[in-house]
Amino acid sequence: MGEETFDVAVIGGGPAGLMAAETVARSGRSVAVFEKMPTFGRKFLMAGRGGLNLTHSEDFERFVGRYGDRAGALRPMLEAFGPQNLVAWAEGLGQPTFVGASGRVFPKAMKASPLLRAWLARLESLGVQLRTRAEWTGWSADGGLLINGEVVRARAVVLALGGASWAKLGSDAAWVPALEGQGAEVAPFRAANCGFDVAWSPVFRERFAGEPLKNVALKQGGRTARGDAMVAGYGLEGGAVYALSARLRDAIEAHGSAVLTIDLRPDIPVETLERRLHAPRGGQSLANFLRKAVKLAPVEVNLLREAHGLDLPDTPAGLAAAIKAAPIALTGVQPLGRAISAAGGVRFESLEGLALKHRPDVVLAGEMLDWEAPTGGYLLQACFASGVAAGQQALARLG
């Protein structure tokens, strides 16, 4: 059949790769997407199982700040394709959105599958060739792309191969050696948006694993995250934990442990708690007294004992202070394979824009780049925005 040739080849069929393909196809250029898995967007579909959190509606400066040390590198992409652009794009595919109470933005369908189906149909209508079970393994001796052992030619290439979490869905970082061979500097992958180990007592672990901690405030090193957490058999996980996961992970790597302080009643001032705890206890057990006086659930009462010891303070002031600040020692980070996302990847310093310095025809997008963000819409937004930017840089390469 001879070698196939395209203006742009996109390797990776997740949100970043598909958005790069759409950006290129709208210019009238020929483009093909090669995905090694049997279907497109497998991690995208997994993200939508609990309600697809596309982006966030908060103030833009606060939004950009969620990307930490990489906010400067991502800012131009987020300015060019920000939350409002993503919402308009989704609604253009027939998927209206709404803003939840937390400011997060979801499609009304609360699923990824209708959006993905409409998106793939649009790409086909634009002439994009969509290939599954097509694995890229590097370059041929004369610079062609090796896809399933065959050579494919492209004037520009967008790599959107994912990070290193959820390997079973395709993000396995198998691409690292090939890119290092092209001069890319790759920061080691580390778990992000992950759970943390806690040395729970056997009784607490057996009784309360799987119990939620609702509307708590978590504090570490001067930073606070509000939301829900979950007691796991190994320790703690959940949205509020993930919001601090980068800081907690770095502290554990540096010092071997970290202390996470939990405020079980962040909306109630300590003085108010103390007044309520002045109520006569009578013959009630401490657990029943705390349940009636300040509505502490059994998991919360026993969490206080894990944090402060079995003998909790016996004064209203002491109990109020214990409820407002329960220190939990974190002793380890859950493995990368269990993490929602990964930190690390190709360093921006080894790129010109999003292209490899030594291979300007190769442009990168998505989670294979060295950035991280908490859950809440920030992960997907950066993947979409970097896909648009990569597609535009590939077009610029074509002239």
Q: Are residues 133 and 83 part of one domain?
A: yes
* Boundary-marking domain end, from 304, 333, 362: 333
Q: What is the pLDDT of residue 1?
A: 43
Q: Are residues 186 and 139 part of one domain?
A: yes
Q: Is-contact 327 310, C-beta < 8 A?
A: no
Q: Are residues 251 and 145 part of one domain?
A: no
Q: Are residues 268 and 169 part of one domain?
A: no
Q: Are residues 307 and 238 part of one domain?
A: yes
Q: Are residues 258 and 394 part of one domain?
A: no
Per-residue pLDDT of 13-42, as tens digits, reads 999 999 999 999 999 999 999 999 999 999
Q: Are residues 293 and 351 part of one domain?
A: no
Q: Are residues 159 and 16 part of one domain?
A: yes
Q: What is the pLDDT of residue 48?
A: 75
Q: Is-contact 139 86, C-beta < 8 A?
A: no
* Boundary-marking domain end, from 278, 305, 333: 333
* Boundary-marking domain end, from 300, 333, 366: 333
- Domain harbouring 378, CATH code: 3.50.50.60
Q: What is the pLDDT of residue 47?
A: 82
Q: Are residues 175 and 47 part of one domain?
A: yes
C-beta atoms surrounding 192 within 10 Å: 26
Q: Are residues 277 and 165 part of one domain?
A: no
Q: Total domain count for the chain?
A: 2
Per-residue pLDDT of 58-82, as tens digits, reads 999 999 999 999 999 999 999 999 9
Domain of residue 55, residue span: 4-190+342-398
Q: What is the pLDDT of residue 49?
A: 80
Q: Are residues 171 and 58 part of one domain?
A: yes
In this prediction, the residues of the chain whose per-residue pLDDT falls under 70 are 1-2
Q: What is the pLDDT of residue 359?
A: 93
Give the E-state strand segments of 93-237 in sequence order: 97-99, 104-107, 129-131, 136-139, 145-147, 150-159, 186-192, 196-197, 212-220, 223-231, 235-237
Q: Are residues 158 and 26 part of one domain?
A: yes
The pTM (predicted TM-score) of the whole model is 0.91
31-34/129-131 β-pairing: parallel
